[in-house]
Chains A and B, each alone.
Chain A
């Protein structure tokens, strides 16, 4: 009964989203405010509707309704309640409902804003969000139904929503349970963050489309969506970082990023989103690049849908799985249609998107921002092609190939290096015009300091060229950015006669976006330290040890003590837990307990024993052991230098983003001003 109810609500939601879309178009065409208002209200109703459907699904999950196929696949009696709730997004059908629910949250929030000044955008924003929502809800309704139940049809047990007459319901005793890999707290939070990031990028896209359709192509859409874009970017970044942390803690291969297509699928919209966040500033300050900003926001939206498609359609495991999966072609069609329609709109409005001013200098801030965009797009091209090529190869020649980390690392390393360099230089250049002299004057001190750091690194611990170039660039970013804080604070201190801390605080509070951005740059440099550490200096060894035997690696000594093994029947898992003593430079520093969990379902899981310091991580994996004699065990040990800077950088990143996006005055409330002519008198020109 409940399953039919949940499904019914989803069908109603689907119809309401369609109505909302059609009413929006009709209302806009006929200039009827009341019909547009009706579309808006329909849009608002989708949120409570999907909430009811989702609530029904959660009720089924929590109360062990294993006759529902989805519940059977992702939960089991032994799972704690919070995991049963989060199993909502642990499988295909549920995660699509989750996606739709988040999208409904965002579109409802956006329809609740004050629309008086932008009434002409309203129907088109509703239209775009309704189409997107209808697509996802439609997929759930027609293809991936989480409410389908098991029926005995002709002697077989099959999931079905509408079974033929005379069949009986089949209720399994227990469910399969959530994949143990997904039971980690990181995996519980990671998908919602990623999805939030994905979903909130729909809003800037919707406003961009509204601007194109109405022809109101000034900066209004950018100002309205500035904060949405920032939050979207925050969630997406958080999702990526949490995913990395999860991989590091649970997957047991000594790293956090493996250039897996699933990771890249989430990374690609982040690349265009980051480029977008930078290039909109050029439009706001200088009125340039309007075409480009439109293209970036369209690309981001397309990549969001495409990323969901890559991870959800099974296309990555095989092109043929894609062809057989009902949602694959549906997804592909939607991505292509929206992408082509959006580009057609940009082309239609091309003349109106002309720049208001001209690019004056190749070293101006806007020119350097464009270079930054080129680098981001280049990384995107490498990633996109690396993910797509195996599919093309399989289609064209029938042979599968792997495009793995060596390819991506070789291709993207110089591009990331270029980004670091720009991160150091671009904030020092001025809008409009800079010369080699002005830039040189601004950066030489930082460059000298960075050279000294590099020299020290060379003299003390590494002769590796890649590492030295990396350290130089990271140091350059850190010094140049900190110097900017210092220069600004000192200038203000002199001008306002404040003490240096007040001056710094007020300076930052006046320019939240700018200084939040600088904090984020610092966080990126800190993360780069971690990436460089693990990429260049990671050491690993593996060996079989009898009790009391030792393995040496990078100053650490690991001594095998014992291994214990027991069953945890309620959790359906067998634990094997080793104990090792760890010494650094001969001094005992503690015990680690690497674990191997073997789920009764056959799924293995390696939990590393980790000893973390700012210098490095000792990461011990239990690979194999002698079960009966207890004579020996095989350990794989990684030393990951500097990797913790990755997580320190992530925290700094959060601080920077919170600072930049902290609610004070909504940028949407700022009037759109004419640039160049009057702007110079009102705002700080160097800002």
Chain B
């Protein structure tokens, strides 16, 4: 997964490089160049609307601003930094990886790993053979019933072939 993203990032950087070259040639910024950046930004005033699809007039002007910035030769990162500096971190599609924001990235994996560990340990506990409980007759009976059950399962599985 990580690899895919680093490839994607690389592709974006390359794309940015090529667009720079394209720029030098005809000087006109295409809508696709603008959207490539606007897509990664969020409308600074609406709720959770990416800038490239936001229909409001304000967002149209922000897209024009991006177009102008590209034509002035600003890089993608510089444009994003400009928006963050002016409108705050909320314009990014993910919280910047600083300070408290690390919690967003760390907590879920920690929780999931803890859950997996807990589940695995429980499995080990459940499936460990218990020498102690084999003593009483009743338990043995229960055990043999269970073995019957397993035998029947295997039988059914074979029959289903």
Check A407/B94 contact, CB under 8 A, given A413-B1, A686-B160.
Answer: yes
Point out the residues of chain B lying under 8 angstroms from A403, CB to CB.
94-95, 104
- Tell whether A48 is near chain B: CB-to-CB under 8 Å: no
- Tell whether A374 is near chain B: CB-to-CB under 8 Å: yes
Asked whether B101 lies within 8 Å of A433 as measured between CB atoms, the reply is no
User: What's the minimum C-beta distance from A200 to chain B, rounded to whole angstroms?
Assistant: 28
Query: 1/0 per residue A631-671: CB within 8 Å of B?
Result: 00010100000000000000000000000000000000000
Q: Tell me which residues from 398 to 418 in chain A have a Cβ below 8 Å from any Cβ of chain B.
A: 399-407, 410-411, 413-414
Query: Interface residue count for A (Cβ, 8 Å)?
Result: 71
| Residue among B47, B50, B119 making CB contact with A371, cutoff 8 Å | B119
| Interface size range on B against A | 35 or more
| Residue among B48, B92, B99, B145 making CB contact with A258, cutoff 8 Å | B48
User: What's the minimum C-beta distance from A246 to chain B, rounded to whole angstroms?
Assistant: 16
Point out the residues of chain A lying under 8 angstroms from B101, CB to CB.
393, 401
Asked whether A358 lies within 8 Å of B126 as measured between CB atoms, the reply is yes
- Tell whether B100 is near chain A: CB-to-CB under 8 Å: yes
| Residue among B50, B56, B89, B149 making CB contact with A432, cutoff 8 Å | B149
- Tell whether A58 is near chain B: CB-to-CB under 8 Å: no
- Tell whether A386 is near chain B: CB-to-CB under 8 Å: yes
Asked whether B108 lies within 8 Å of A385 as measured between CB atoms, the reply is yes
| Residue among A378, A393, A465, A686 making CB contact with B100, cutoff 8 Å | A393
Please indicate which of the listed interface residues B95, B103, B116, B152 has the most CB atoms of chain A within 10 Å of its own CB.
Answer: B95
| Residue among A252, A400, A405 making CB contact with B55, cutoff 8 Å | A252
User: What's the minimum C-beta distance from B149 to chain A, rounded to whole angstroms?
Assistant: 5
Check A389/B119 contact, CB under 8 A, given A362-B127, A491-B159.
Answer: no
| Residue among B5, B42, B115 making CB contact with A374, cutoff 8 Å | B115
User: What's the minimum C-beta distance from B106 to chain A, rounded to whole angstroms?
Assistant: 10
Bound complex: CA of A604 vs CA of B46, how far in Å?
Answer: 14
User: What's the minimum C-beta distance from B37 to chain A, rounded to whole angstroms?
Assistant: 13
Asked whether B108 lies within 8 Å of A359 as measured between CB atoms, the reply is no
Asked whether B55 lies within 8 Å of A606 as measured between CB atoms, the reply is yes
- Tell whether A515 is near chain B: CB-to-CB under 8 Å: no
Asked whether B157 lies within 8 Å of A686 as measured between CB atoms, the reply is yes
- A-B contact list, 22 entries, CB within 8 Å: A252-B53, A260-B48, A361-B127, A381-B112, A385-B104, A393-B100, A399-B88, A401-B92, A402-B90, A402-B93, A402-B95, A405-B93, A414-B1, A430-B153, A433-B150, A487-B161, A540-B32, A541-B32, A542-B30, A542-B31, A544-B31, A680-B145
Among all A-B residue pairs, the 5 with the closest Cβ atoms: A359-B126, A404-B93, A253-B53, A542-B31, A401-B95
Interfacial residues, chain B to chain A (CB-CB below 8 A): 1, 3-5, 30-32, 35, 42, 47-48, 50, 53, 55-56, 60, 88-96, 99-101, 103-104, 107-108, 111-112, 115-116, 119, 122-123, 126-127, 142, 145-146, 148-150, 152-154, 156-157, 159-161
Interfacial residues, chain A to chain B (CB-CB below 8 A): 252-254, 258, 260-261, 316-317, 357-362, 367, 370-371, 374, 377-378, 381-382, 385-386, 389-390, 392-393, 396-397, 399-407, 410-411, 413-414, 430-433, 438, 442, 465-466, 487-488, 491, 540-544, 604-606, 624, 634, 636, 676-677, 680, 684-686
